Structure 1
Amino acid sequence: MTQPDLSLAREFEAALAWWRAAGVDCDYHDDATSWLADAPPACAPLSGDKPAPMRPTASGKAPEAGQPARLRADAPAPPPAPAPAQTPRPDLMGESPPTDLAAFREWWMHAPGLDTARLHPRIAPRGPAGAALMVLVPQPEEGDRERLLDGPQGRLLGNILAAAGLEENAVYCAAALPCHTPMADIAALAASGMNAVTAHHVTLAAPQRVLVLGSALGPMLGETTQEGLRRINNNGRTVPVMVSETLEAMMDMPRLKSRFWRRWMEWSASH
């Protein structure tokens, strides 16, 4: 018997030992393996069994052997899927909506269904009816308790109005939501009926112009143009509207103040 080449055996054993030390002790391959079993073949009928009779097709002929049976022409159609139930839109104003600002303020403070955040109190709008300017903000400030915009945002608004030559007491200030609401979904709240409340509010306030401080408030008043300028109909007359960033955003990004001021000057010159 021929003796094996000991040096080659040692090299082979050393190579295996090296791969074991590297952690490779299994054989791998790249061929794909199907883990899902193939469908079992159709069982042939037993010799003593009779095949099930085939129904005739619409043409009146029975399908040939090995061909799938077609649906009968007189088979009833499946029932249509039921239409999804639509939730009726809430009527927050009710059958007797407020007819003046005094009644609206009372309704705003106590009407059920308006609470958007029970942790914060409702804050009433302020200002006279028929004001030269109505300012609409998304919601009261977090620290408001008795007066709308009674914190840093209110001080910024007061400075803006003073620079524009407007007395703050002569401006009608309102919020789209009755209380401070963290992470408020303005679009969903508008669709739930708050847009009708806002429209009625503007009608009762009857301002000559409306300044909307919050681009997200578009659903409350309808869609706006790319420039943030639009008009609304109020008791048969057209009221100019300017939409801009929120007071909070202007405080966080001072550059927005200069942009707001340029647009305000252009808007004021034409309205």
Structure 2
Amino acid sequence: MTAADPDLAREMAAHREWWRLAGVDLDFADDATAWLAEPEPAASASDPGEDRDRPPARPSEPAIEEKAPPPDLLGDSPPETLAAFREWWMSAPGLDAIGPRGRVPPRGTAEAALMVLVVHPEEGDRERLLAGPQGRLLEAILAAMGTASEEIYVASALPRFMPMADCAAEAQRGMAQVLSHHIQLAAPQRIVAFGAGLGALMGAHGKNDYGNLPNIHHKHSTNPVLMSEDLESLMAMPKLKARFWRRWMEWSAKQA
């Protein structure tokens, strides 16, 4: 067997030392291989039963972002009567971005047999809420129900005409609390809510499908709620009138 050439061995050692001094200590292939890296220290021996008894590590839970509470538009001294609420509704400076000018008041008396709720007044409303075509449709609906005008309370969730209103954003802005307080003071026996988006303002978490909402519970009353399309849509599409009437009949039968 021929012995290794000592000169060749020295040349190979010198070659490796040259590359090490040049900073090249990895062989780049499909997988990198550390030629000169120090071996990792062996893991300390432990009792096998210790690992078996140790509970598995729980993944860290993502931090829950807390939402800021909506602004308190009612303030420290909210209106305590329906008459005081109407005055506040027409004069409170922070209720909307425009200010008191152009707002339309609710109408009717407390503890009415029925509260009619819409998202906002009609475009031409001034002194009387729903004084235009939508109001005339409402009068026809009430007549078919056998309900007199003086037996209803008519209110809007927003104080002025606001086409394409973002009800979810208005709820976050504090108008949901305002509406809740309004309903509590009005204390109607039942509520019919005309308009997509009113669910978000009435505690339905943005639910816009039509039908029965859960009852609204207040300190002194419980109010069943029937949701419907807005009055303008009912005027434009007769089939929606028929659908509303069927829902009204079914809902009324449950309340009887």
Taking structure 2 as the reference length, what is the TM-score of the superposition? 0.71
Q: CA deviation at 1:99?
A: 0.2
Q: How many residues align?
A: 208
Q: CA RMSD in A?
A: 3.3
Question: Is the aligned partner of 1:95 residue 2:76?
Answer: yes
Which residue, 172, 182, 203 being the options, matches 1:201? 182
- Report 1:30-179 matches (<5 A): 64=34, 87-116=68-97, 121-179=102-160
Q: For residues 190 and 217 of structure 1, what CA distance do their matches in structure 2 show?
A: 9
Q: For residues 126 and 119 of structure 1, what CA distance do their matches in structure 2 show?
A: 17
User: 1 or 2, which has the higher helix percentage?
Assistant: 2
Q: CA deviation at 1:267?
A: 1.3
Question: Is the aligned partner of 1:269 residue 2:253?
Answer: yes
Indicate if the aligned counterparts of 1:212 and 1:244 stay in contact, CA closer than 8 A. Answer: yes
Structure 2 gap ranges (5+):
1-17, 25-32, 41-62
Counterpart amino acid of 1:112? P
Counterpart of 2:47 in structure 1 is none
Which residue, 207, 217, 223 being the options, matches 1:239? 223
Q: CA deviation at 1:170?
A: 2.1
Counterpart amino acid of 1:228? G
Indicate if the aligned counterparts of 2:120 and 2:160 stay in contact, CA closer than 8 A. Answer: yes
Q: For residues 66 and 97 of structure 1, what CA distance do their matches in structure 2 show?
A: 78
Q: CA deviation at 1:227?
A: 5.8
Q: Percent identity?
A: 53
Q: Which secondary structure does the structure 2 equivalent of 1:182 belong to?
A: coil
CA deviation profile, 1:117-175 (whole Å, cap 9, x unmatched) = 56971001000000000000000001011110011001100111111111112210000
Structure 1 consecutive aligned stretches of length 4 or more whose deviation exceeds 3 Å? 49-52, 63-67, 82-88, 116-120, 224-227
Q: For residues 225 and 119 of structure 1, what CA distance do their matches in structure 2 show?
A: 29
Counterpart of 2:236 in structure 1 is 252
Which residue, 222, 225, 228 being the options, matches 2:211? 228
Q: For residues 86 and 243 of structure 1, what CA distance do their matches in structure 2 show?
A: 28
Q: For residues 36 and 101 of structure 2, what CA distance do their matches in structure 1 show?
A: 74
Q: CA deviation at 1:109?
A: 0.6
Structure 1 gap ranges (5+):
1-45, 53-62, 71-81
- Report 1:178-197 matches (<5 A): 178-197=159-178
Taking structure 1 as the reference length, what is the TM-score of the superposition? 0.67
